[in-house]
Chain A
Amino acid sequence: MDLSLSTRTVGDRTVVEVGGEIDVYTAPKLREQLVELVNDGSYHLVVDMERVDFLDSTGLGVLVGGLKRVRAHEGSLRLVCNQERILKIFRITGLTKVFPIHTTVEDAVAATD
């Protein structure tokens, strides 16, 4: 299974819907997408991971990289995830303290703090 990516704009937020497997092979595609969005001036990103089947440390690295990029522009990067097996990886690595993680895209888009 490959990685699928699609983006849409909701108000001042850009929602990136990710599906499939994020690993050492596919993560560069996600990195390119995030870099492109930031270069185009989208600094408030919501990454919707509800359709992600697999995530590893390479994928985490790309998300952390994205967070650093948007923060450089006083932006934000929020995640949407309800899947226990994906959330577990964020907990193991302590990244639940780094990323705001929401249960729905609506929550993430509405969040301001």
Chain B
Amino acid sequence: MAIVELRFSAQPEHVRTARLVAAAVARRAGVEEAVLDEVRLAVGEACTRAVGLHRSHGLTAPVRVVLTEDEKLFSIEVGDEVPGPPGSGDETVPGMDAALDPDTEVEDDMGLAVISGLVDDVEVTSGESGGVIRMSWPASGAVDVP
């Protein structure tokens, strides 16, 4: 198991950096080329959401991204430090109905809807120390990329 960890200040301009790093590590881990676009989009959505949460709560703490390369699995965890209700378990990933309701503004939850539509293996949790979005994809093992 190998990991790459990235911490960045909750600023929108760094989300692109997180996408680039995640795609590079995923490629190295042997995630299929056709899936890399999904990885890039999903990690971008998760980081965008975390940045938004930190900013709206006035947190100066960085957003945390952990990329884990296992033999047959590539996983990404994006963590924020905005506490959820104590003891709350898994959140339900909201459907698009709410996001598309013409009477409401498009909320951040559209990002979660994109993630849940893209990634089969996704888990959203929230606790006293913050929220975490965990996503994983099949990988064929580390490959040497020149």
- Measured between C-beta atoms, what is the minimum distance from A17 to chain B in Å? 21
CB of B135 within 8 A of chain A? Answer: no
A93 with B113: CB separation less than 8 A: yes
A-B contact count (CB 8 A): 62
Q: Which residues of A contact B99 (CB under 8 A)?
A: 93
B51 with A93: CB separation less than 8 A: no
B45 with A57: CB separation less than 8 A: yes
B15 with A23: CB separation less than 8 A: yes
CB of B37 within 8 A of chain A? Answer: yes
- Measured between C-beta atoms, what is the minimum distance from A85 to chain B in Å? 5
B37 with A56: CB separation less than 8 A: no
CB of B89 within 8 A of chain A? Answer: no
B45 with A25: CB separation less than 8 A: no
- Measured between C-beta atoms, what is the minimum distance from A57 to chain B in Å? 4
A-B contact pairs, 28 of them (CB 8 A): A23-B16, A23-B44, A23-B48, A24-B12, A24-B48, A24-B51, A24-B52, A25-B12, A25-B13, A25-B15, A54-B19, A54-B40, A54-B44, A56-B45, A56-B48, A57-B45, A57-B48, A57-B110, A57-B111, A57-B114, A58-B48, A60-B106, A65-B105, A65-B106, A92-B118, A93-B110, A93-B113, A94-B100
Chain B: residues with CB nearer than 8 A to chain A?
12-13, 15-16, 19, 37, 40-41, 44-45, 48, 51-52, 96, 99-100, 102, 105-106, 110-111, 113-114, 117-118
Extra A-B contacts (13), CB below 8 Å, given A24-B48, A54-B44, A94-B100: A23-B15, A23-B48, A24-B44, A24-B51, A54-B40, A56-B44, A56-B111, A57-B48, A58-B48, A64-B106, A89-B41, A93-B96, A93-B100
